[in-house]
A and B are shown apart, each in its own frame.
Chain A
Amino acid sequence: MEFKVGELAQLLTGEVLRTADDGSVLVNIGNKNHTLKLLKSGTGEFEFILDNRFHHAKVLHSGSAEVRMMLDGQPITVKKHSKLTEVLEKASALGGTGGGDRNLASQIPGRVVNIAAEPGTDVKKGDVIVVLESMKMQVAVKAHKDGHLKEIKVKQGASVSRNDVLAVIE
């Protein structure tokens, strides 16, 4: 399988070759063989030794396309199936009315302090649609693409969570 680690351009191949009785696993990463030994595992969290170096990993979210984890205290995202992702990206490009990405979602939790755009108008990528407040800071949420602002799903004063859909742009 091919993995894309974080923002690195170079893909890394990785596969499990075999598991031994003593719990160690022989893996091939980037065309080099490594021994991997699992030390301890709990819910979504585990410690392992890769070639004599100790690591601690905690999986925050795991989906078909990617695994988000904390590795040795640092957040990192590993994407699998990059070839398939290339294929799927054609679908969003092809999609008739705005593809699969009509939703403008919030990256942060916060409170809506200002609705800056009118539903029913056309907007350009980068236009400020909604202003959120969090931790006494104001953050402008901008349109992720050009299009027609179909609706704004939140009201002034509403609380939003991370990934909540704020507006629909077609």
Chain B
Amino acid sequence: MGKKITSILIANRGEIALRVIRACKELGIRSIAIYSDEDVRAIHVKRADEAYHIGPAAPAQSYLNMTKIIETAKAAGADAVHPGYGFLSENENFPEMCDKNGMIFIGPTAKAMDLTGDKMKCKAVMKKAKVSTVPGSDGVINDVEKAADIAHEAGYPVLLKSAFGGGGRGIRLANDEKQLRQEFEMASAESKAAFGKSALYVEKYLQRIRHIEFQLIRDSHGNGRHLFERECSIQRRHQKLIEMSPSPVVDQKTREKMGEIAVRAAAAVDYLNAGTAEFLRDPEGNFYFIEINSRLQVEHPVTELVTGIDLVKLQIGVAQGEEIPFNQDDLKMNGCAIECRVNAEDPFYDFAPSVGPVPYCNLPYGPGVRVDTYLYPGCTVSGFYDSLVAKLLTWGSNFDEARVRMRNALDEFVIEGINTTIPLYRTIMEEKNFIKGELSTDYLERFRVFDRMNDEAKKSAEEKASAAVAAALLHSELVKKGAPAKSSRWKQARVSI
């Protein structure tokens, strides 16, 4: 490699496309955007140096249409392609195709992607590299006796997972051996019925866990660094809602230890460019490796804020074959950063998706406030793509300053026309367990956060009640004024006898 990149096609949309375009503008790189029918007026199209239409709204025909995207990249003369997150970012055929067509893929190699994409394979590699993983089976288990043995060794309760299920499907819980045998039979039968074979694996069921991940960067010269941890425990249905750095339970010693392990994990799969090593941490402080995400993640700005490093520019540098421009000890954890993912969903209505035009929005700003978004007054939130509309981040010299800044920024953030999850975050910012750092993946249910949110909404309605009535009265007065009176032609009109 070692080729200088002068133009990048961003194979994505929304806020991440804008993020990469910004990095391009700082480096003097020509930014090439792509857009579907739905995104004709999107902000990333307006900001890029060039923009090309690639297909109708449906992702399969546009942002997932690898052939069309490669064709467009070539026609536009792009040196490199940045996949963003989601869409094609973890499709191992994509870097291969870029390679075949003489373009640099800003991300890991197809081989590394393939390895990190297969959870079982990856787990095996980690074990070899002496990175501890979640206790359980090393591969697929076909017989219930083996399953019982492994479960006994790992310790109950255990999860029986289907090797082919995804997104939370096909997972069964067994609290003891008797239940394990029952569940195994059923799970096995289900798997056979659905996929033609029984392919299950056993994993220890960790409870009250925290999700802590380490940002990684590895260059083509074998240098690997970590950029500290992010705690992403507050989730709903396995989707992250709030991320922060540092984690309240990670001290400097742990940081160094786990960071080193994360870097080792990246080396074990011969990783390239930016990625994230995800761990689960149990209440006793044990860390278990889950997987490596082979892409730049949604929550990367959290790390940017506490390290001062621009990760996208770093990615581009590595893709050009440069060495990582800092040593591990050059990095210092500075202050605290929090990110809230603002989704177009109604938290009062079971997170029902909310789409439509946004006639007005007011983005918060001020010291320590950063907003990564594709919103602008007059834009439209589409139902064809995911519900993330903005990432609101705050930085403070300590957790409390970051938290209070976030609370105030949430108050300032106005998005009209759609429902968003802002009220949920507002409640969390003042919730006492959050303030204490008592986080876990079951945070929302554990501390009945939704009840609190509903109560607070009620209180806020009470405070605003008089103003609301005043507004309603004013509105009817204004309506009475109606259309401006113009001279009526009625009097001059022809009158019949």
Stretch at the interface among A3-11, A83-91, A143-151: A3-11
Q: Write out, one digit per residue, whether chain B residues 449-483 have a CB within 8 A of any chain A CB (1) or not (0).
A: 00000000110111011111111111101110000
* Residue pair B353, A80 in contact (C-beta under 8 Å): no
Q: Say whether A156 faces chain B, with CB atoms less than 8 Å apart.
A: no
A135 & B470 in contact (Cβ 8 Å cutoff): no
**B473 and A16 form a contact (CB under 8 A):** yes
State whether B353 touches A50 (Cβ < 8 A): no
- Give the contact stretch, choosing among B38-46, B379-387, B393-401: B379-387
Interface residue A29 (Cβ < 8 Å from any Cβ of B): yes
Report the Cα distance A59→B469, complex, angstroms: 13
Alpha-carbon distance A51/B453, docked complex (angstroms): 28
Contact of B355 among A67, A80, A135 (CB under 8 A): A135
- Contact present for B356 and A135 (CB under 8 Å): no
Kindly name the residue among B351, B383, B461 whose own CB sees the greatest number of chain A CB atoms within 10 A.
B383
A contact patch SS: strand
Known: A7-B461, A67-B475, A134-B355. A14 touches B362 (CB 8 A): no
Q: Taking CB as reference atom, which chain A residue is nearest B352?
A: A108
Establish whether residues A29 and B475, one from each chain, have CB atoms under 8 Å apart when the complex forms: no
How many A-B contacts are there with CB distance less than 8 Å? Answer: 135
CA distance A1 to B423 in the complex (A): 31
Find out whether the CB atom of B353 lies under 8 angstroms from the CB atom of A76.
no
Query: Given known contacts A16-B473, A62-B475, A137-B353, is B387 in contact with A8 (CB within 8 Å)?
Result: no
Nearest CB in chain A to that of B411: its residue = A73
Q: Are A109 and B356 in contact (CB under 8 A)?
A: yes
Asked if B349 CB lies within 8 Å of chain A CBs, one says: yes
Contacts of A163 in B (CB 8 A): none
Encode contact with A along B349-361: 1 for CB under 8 Å, 0 otherwise: 1011111100010
A38 at the interface (CB under 8 A from B): yes
User: Nearest residue in A to B356 (C-beta to C-beta)?
Assistant: A109
B114 near A: Cβ within 8 Å?
A: no
Tell whether, in the assembled complex, residue A5 and residue B469 are in contact, meaning their CB atoms are under 8 Å apart: yes
CB within 8 A of B468: which of A46, A78, A107? A78
Kindly identify which residue among A14, A74, A107 contacts B470, using a CB–CB cutoff of 8 Å.
A14
A53 at the interface (CB under 8 A from B): yes
A37–B42 Cα distance when bound, in Å, is: 39
Known: A48-B470, A110-B383. A72 touches B464 (CB 8 A): yes
Q: Which of A34, A67, A80, A109 has the most CB of B within 10 A?
A: A67
Question: Is A99 on the interface with B (CB-CB < 8 A)?
Answer: no
- Within the complex, which residue of B344, B386, B387, B465 is in contact with A12, where a contact is CB–CB below 8 Å? B465
Interface size grouping (class) on chain A: 35 or more
Task: Verify if A71 is at the interface (C-beta below 8 Å from B).
Answer: yes
Are A6 and B461 interface neighbours, CB within 8 A? yes
Contact A7 B477 (CB under 8 A): no
Flag if B474 contacts A25 (CB, 8 Å). yes
Question: Is residue B416 contacting chain A, with contact meaning CB distance below 8 A?
Answer: yes
B474 touches A70 (CB 8 A): no
Task: Considering the complex, give the chain B residue whose CB is closest to the CB of A73.
Answer: B414
- B416 to chain A: which residues have CB within 8 Å? 58, 70, 73
- Given the contacts A57-B471, A59-B475, A139 and B466 also touching, CB distance less than 8 Å: no
| Distance A139 CA – B477 CA, assembled complex (angstroms) | 41
Residues of B within 8 A of A135 (CB): 344-345, 353, 355, 383-387
- A167 CB within 8 Å of chain B: no
Which residues of B come within 8 Å of A, CB atoms? 344-345, 349, 351-356, 360, 362, 383-387, 414, 416, 419, 457-458, 460-462, 464-475, 477-479
Known: A5-B469, A14-B470. 9 other contacts (CB 8 A): A6-B461, A8-B461, A29-B470, A57-B475, A58-B416, A69-B472, A71-B467, A76-B464, A135-B385
